[in-house]
Amino acid sequence: MPLVRFIAFSVVRAWQGFWRNAMMSLAATSTVVLMLVLLSGLLIVLAGLDSGLQYIESKVGVTARLIDNLPQEEVDALVLDISALPGVAKVDYISPETALERLKEFYREQGQQLDLGGAEITLYASVEILLTDPNQAGAVQGALEGRPEVERITTRQVDYQKLLGIIGYVRTVGIIALGLVGLTVLFMIVNMIRIAVYSRSNEIEIMRLVGASDSFIRWPFILEGILCGVIGAVVTIILVAVAWEPIKPIMVRVFQMPTAVSTEFLAVLSAVILGVGLGVGAVGSWISVRANLSSTA
């Protein structure tokens, strides 16, 4: 029961303190919201880019177009040779007939029908090579070059490297921006609590004189900072939830990956926002209380 009374006392005092310096508290909360919106944006973009990366990763392989009318035994020998190369996960021979079937399927997926006007086409036969590691594409490509059975070699490794570079850049810029905003938020919360401590110095003095423990004096201020962070987080979660529906089609269009905007992702994002808001509030107020509220002399 004493613990319950202590918690109730601290929470009520923190709530009263938050609204007593409403302007300062709301300014600090606004910076928390700004930081968390930035964090959400960064996480959404990174999740989209990661989804794109995973997609490309799964598609990165080497495709070797074969010369026309290559005998089956030579195809089999080539497949065997490629399978033995390091970094190769799987080798599939795509016959001209299979290639034509795929083309038709592609059109069907687009809601159209392949119309050749009655003409018959023969597509190239090819070998599709899946890799265990996308970075092995160069080595596999090198091994195939110069082989008489192979007419042309294509790979998506360049796309993969390009996307990897973009993700690294976005992540670095995002983290730096977040770090700067995070410092501003900490500064705001530290100041908010500092002002709260000074504005309540009479109360604090009386509390000490009548025998209040350090916990009773300090925790309301720490909770006030946490309250600032949590309110900021809740506002941000509401903003993200409201913006979620308009964001989804944009994400799908840009990243071609619906998984990046799944409900599970929104739940994880909300938890991260809440955790970061709470953490920043707690750290800021703890720093301020340590600096501005000396222990019982």
Partner 1 sequence: MTDTLRRPYVAVPDVAESVISMVDVGMTYPNGKVALVDVNVNIPEGDFVFLVGPSGAGKSTFIRLLIREQLPTTGRVVVAGRDLSTMRRGQVPALRRRIGIVFQDFRLLPAKTVYENVAFALEVTGATSAEIRKRVPRLLNLVGLHEHDDHLPTQLSGGEQQRTAIARALVHDPAMLIADEPTGNLDPVTSWDLIQLLIQINAMGTTVLMATHNQEIVNAMRRRVLALEHGTLVRDESGAAYEREY
Contact residues for partner 1, defined by CB under 8 A: 1-2, 5-6, 9, 202-203, 205-214, 216-217, 295-297
Interatomic CA distance for residues 23 and 16, integer angstroms:
13
- Total number of residues shown for the chain: 297
Is 10 or 51 the residue whose CB approaches partner 1 more closely? 10
Question: Please, what is the minimum distance in Å from the beta carbon of residue 211 to partner 1?
Answer: 4
Q: Does an H or E element contain 163, and which?
A: helix 157-199
Q: Which amino acid is at 152?
A: R
Is 2 or 148 the residue whose CB approaches partner 1 more closely? 2
Is 12 or 241 the residue whose CB approaches partner 1 more closely? 12
Query: Which is it for strands 126-131 and 88-94: parallel, antiparallel or unpaired?
Result: antiparallel
Question: Please, what is the minimum distance in Å from the beta carbon of residue 297 to partner 1?
Answer: 5
Is 57 or 214 the residue whose CB approaches partner 1 more closely? 214
Is 9 or 244 the residue whose CB approaches partner 1 more closely? 9
Question: Please, what is the minimum distance in Å from the beta carbon of residue 4 to partner 1?
Answer: 10
Question: Please, what is the minimum distance in Å from the beta carbon of residue 282 to partner 1?
Answer: 22
Classify the phi-psi angles of 216: left when phi > 0, otherwise alpha if psi is within -120 to 50, otherwise beta. Answer: alpha
Is 151 or 214 the residue whose CB approaches partner 1 more closely? 214
Strand order in the sheet with 150-155: 88-94, 126-131, 61-66, 150-155
Question: Please, what is the minimum distance in Å from the beta carbon of residue 13 to partner 1?
Answer: 9
- DSSP secondary structure of 98-131: HHHHHHHHHHHHTT-----TT----PPPEEEEEE
Contacts of 164 (CB under 8 A, 6+ apart): 53
Query: Rounded to the nearest 10 degrees, how much is the dihedral formed by the CA atoms of 107, 108, 112, 115?
Result: 60
Question: Please, what is the minimum distance in Å from the beta carbon of residue 202 to partner 1?
Answer: 7
